[in-house]
Amino acid sequence: MTTGALRILLAEDDDPIRERLARIIGNWPEAQLCAACPNLEETLIAIGANDIDLLITDINLPDGSGIDAIRYLAKRRPKAEAMVISVLADERSVLDAIEAGASGYLLKDADSIDLVDAIKDVMAGRSPISSRIARVLVRRLSELGHAPEHPEAAKPKPSLTDREMDILWGIAKGFTYGELADKLAISRQTVPVHIRNIYRKLQASNRSEAVFEAARLGLIKL
């Protein structure tokens, strides 16, 4: 994270929503909106052209997926962060984005305070996670290596620490960050840091899966 204003790139195809988000970011003195793009093509161009700190992108863009923009950002600007904006924050699209390199998610109707808080958290190394996303993650991790016939079993299993697994299990069961922090005798602020680490490991395992798949297709010589 740079010490100056946070350089943000916004990708959203719906004009009123894009304008709303742009307005909120524009009203935030600590941020600088580099561009607000309505489609993937313009977003990719903007990533190449601007030295950005954060990409906020919708997943469904008219000419492609916001996940491609996140992957491109990870390649061109490895230090930059990415967040997805979604109406429902459904676990599948959010997890896809996280595996592509996103560090958090935002609800499209989030008000300005929530939106700014969420961006601040992500830039401070803390990531959010909903109970539903945690539940999907727990289920996915338990399927890895336990059910050979399951397609998920072919994926490399991210090596989560016991503490990270405890947090994931706790959130999946519906505990609040505060309850979890009490149970695990850690600070409440530490919980989202662990979640960020979980995300990083998911991304790493996803990258190894991508490398393996590429090698299988003969694109990369291992």
Task: Give least dist CB 165 to other proteins, A.
Answer: 17
DSSP code of residue 50: S
Alpha-carbon distance of 185 to 192, in angstroms, equals: 14
Per CB under 8 A, the segment of 26-34, 62-70, 161-169, 171-179 that binds other proteins is 171-179
> Which positions from 61 through 120 interact with other proteins, judged by CB under 8 A?
86-88, 90, 92, 108-111, 113-114
Would you say 33 and 66 are in contact if contact means Cβ atoms under 8 Å apart? Answer: no
Instruction: Single out the residue of 96, 179, 184, 207 in contact with other proteins (rule: CB under 8 A).
Output: 179
Q: Work out how close the CB of 128 gets to other proteins at its nearest, in angstroms, rounded to a whole number.
A: 9
Q: Can you tell me whether residue 12 is helix, strand or coil?
A: coil
Q: In whole angstroms, give the CA distance from residue 137 to residue 98.
A: 11
Phi, psi of 48 (to 5 degrees): -65, -30
d(CA 103, CA 53): 12
* Residue 174 in contact with other proteins, rule: CB under 8 A: yes
3-state helix, strand, coil in the chain (%, to 5): 55, 15, 30
Considering only residues 19 through 58, tell me which ones interact with other proteins, judged by CB under 8 A: 19-20
Q: Which is nearer to other proteins, 17 or 211 (CB)?
A: 17
Q: Which residues bind other proteins (CB under 8 A)?
A: 14, 16-17, 19-20, 60, 86-88, 90, 92, 108-111, 113-114, 130-132, 135, 171-176, 179
